[in-house]
Amino acid sequence: MMTSTRHAMAMAVVAILGVHDPIQAKEPDLCTQTSRAARRACESEALDDQWIAVGVCTNLGDDDQRKTCRRTAKQTLQESRAECGEQFDAREQLCDAVGQAAYAPPIDPSRFRSPQATAMNPNPLFPLVPGTIWVYTGGGETITVTVTGQTKVIQGVACIVVHDVVVAGGQLVEDTLDYYAQDVGGSVWYFGELSQSFENGELVDLEGSFTAGVAGAKAGIVMKAAPAVGDVYRQEFALGGAEDAAEVLDVAASETVPAASCTGTCLVTRDFTPLEPGHVEHKYYKPGVGQILGVNLETGVREELVSFTPGMP
């Protein structure tokens, strides 16, 4: 290692001669810095929850109950910290794939097609044509996805509103509005969502909801114009709340589901999120139809397309 004097002399030579300095030229580890910040936030939240739990335990009427409660709170803290570490490792793996640069996609409204132009020439793997309806079943759920004729302007871009409804056991489980826009090159961007979760008919949370441009949230690409095997990309970015990403695994796959089939023409992606390191899904897309299958690798559940209604431009 250089002494401070030798390093200063070397830097002077660099300044005078314009010599390339590998130390100065090294790419900042901005992605890793983001991962570290998220881990600290996660651990702080876990600690806050633990102290609230201790306060609740303190107000129990029986001493044995208080002790049991505090042990449970301590165990929960340990588990939460372990989860924070797993999320950090998952974020770092994503950093290795996408690079260390700051995630700051330029959003220029003039580089996006209008909803009408998109409907006339949609991305064949993600056709955003009003009236298009996909119905999937799997894991005891029925998922109905509809491209509406509605739009929402986000960051100056007119986004197409897609309505996603999940029903299980005859009851509404999720009701989501997704906001997409297609750029002039044909890639489909995801600008946010309003995600509502229900239990027994009651709204319980809006977890996962975000809007690009609000509170640091940013749009991502949900479908590239020309996917290539090995591509890894962020589909959304709201640190700590929405961090889905995808990797292209195959562009010539075959698969069959009740409403569609493909022979050597399907795209396959690996969809994942650092927020849930164990949750990985393989999705199959057929040109002209869109997603026909989603396979949860953790549970083995297949969400298969059982009905497809094409829209009209």
Residue 45 CB: number of other CB atoms within 10 A? 13
Query: Residue 87 is encoded by which pair of tokens?
Result: 């999320």
What's the pLDDT at 127?
Answer: 98
pLDDT band at 187; cut points 50, 70, 90: very high
At 61-96, the pLDDT tens digits run 999 999 999 999 999 999 999 999 999 999 999 999
CATH number for the region 109-309 comes to 2.40.360
26 has a pLDDT exceeding 60: no
24 has a pLDDT exceeding 80: no
pTM above 0.75, yes or no: yes
**Region class of 6: left (phi > 0), else alpha (psi between -120 and 50), else beta:** alpha
Question: What does the pLDDT average to over 268-284?
Answer: 97
For the chain, domain boundaries? 27-98, 109-309
What's the pLDDT at 14?
Answer: 37
8 has a pLDDT exceeding 60: no
Give Cβ neighbours of residue 249 (< 8 Å, ≥ 6 apart): 229, 268, 269, 270, 282
